[in-house]
Amino acid sequence: MAVTGFAALILLLSGTIPVTAAPRIVSLDECADQYVLGLVPREQIAAVSSKAALPDSYYRDRVRGLRQIRPNAESVLALRPDIVVRTWGGDARLLRMLGEDGIQVVTINDVTTFDQARAELHRAGDAMGVDARAQAEAERFQAALDDIRPIGLDRTVLYYTPGGYSAGPDTMVGEMLRKLAFRLETQDKGFFALSPEVILSLHPDVFALGFYDDVYEMRRSPGRNPLVSRLIAATPHFTLPRRALACSGWYSAYDLRVLSHSIEVK
């Protein structure tokens, strides 16, 4: 016979029915931080990475008051977490010790499309025991996608960084530019370097700039070439939000929606 109502409460208070504590969670790197800060209740976050509050971190405003650590075995194991979340953070020694201690490791996969971002959001939410929060976030994410304005108007676009790099159609950058209704000027795959000579031979309708607000990146030579600078200045251009570029995830759609409503690329 099932135990219900007042009888169940008595058993719970007496300790007869075990209470499962919510898992304590640690994230090891900036991209993993976004999943933990974006989905996990604050009281379950044992620590986030030392980079969680940097300008590139989408959820940096949620870091105040949380412990920040470096991804070494001593710091992580001292917190006795139940789950550790990572993308690239943590060396082989740390991962081995986590396994030996029976600590669950959730590795976040790289995503290059918004469909992949949705699937990874649900997968990570389920692995961290916050699937209801992930579902709510997925609905907010879909609403953001549906509200992105097609400011590209089927024009060609070239992504360019101060370091002289561009991005192809198989990257999240390419996905974001397509979502804005641009066509990529080049179909080269992945992230690739464009010398000043090559970029001067291309004729995109629009330049999409990345990390042009980064003082350190702007010290590099390709993006500062005066001929390249004049070409960009003479061509319609805009800057992609750096938070959407640093770590690709569902939250990239939020800044992309804001961008699409705040600029007109003429």
212-262 tens-digit pLDDT: 766 555 555 566 688 898 999 999 999 999 999 999 999 999 999 999 999
User: Does 136 lie in the same domain as 182?
Assistant: no
Instruction: Examine the pLDDT at 10 and tell me if it is beyond 80.
Output: no
Q: Which of 144, 172, 201 is the last residue of a domain?
A: 144
Q: Which of 144, 169, 199 is the last residue of a domain?
A: 144
Q: Would residue 12 count as lying in a domain?
A: no
User: Does 77 lie in the same domain as 117?
Assistant: yes
Please report, for the domain that includes residue 107, its CATH number.
Answer: 3.40.50.1980
Task: State pLDDT tens for residues 95-109.
Answer: 999 999 999 999 999
Task: State pLDDT tens for residues 136-174.
Answer: 999 999 999 999 999 999 999 999 998 889 999 999 999
Q: Would residue 28 count as lying in a domain?
A: yes
Residue type, 218: M
User: Does 164 lie in the same domain as 135?
Assistant: no
How many domains are contained in the chain?
2
Domain that holds residue 191: 156-262
User: Does 34 lie in the same domain as 119?
Assistant: yes
User: Does 131 lie in the same domain as 27?
Assistant: yes
User: Does 193 lie in the same domain as 112?
Assistant: no
pLDDT at 163: 84
pLDDT at 1: 38
Q: Would residue 173 count as lying in a domain?
A: yes
User: Does 205 lie in the same domain as 107?
Assistant: no
User: Does 178 lie in the same domain as 108?
Assistant: no
Spatial strand order of the sheet with 156-160 comes to 183-184, 156-160, 206-209, 237-239
User: Does 171 lie in the same domain as 138?
Assistant: no
User: Does 123 lie in the same domain as 47?
Assistant: yes
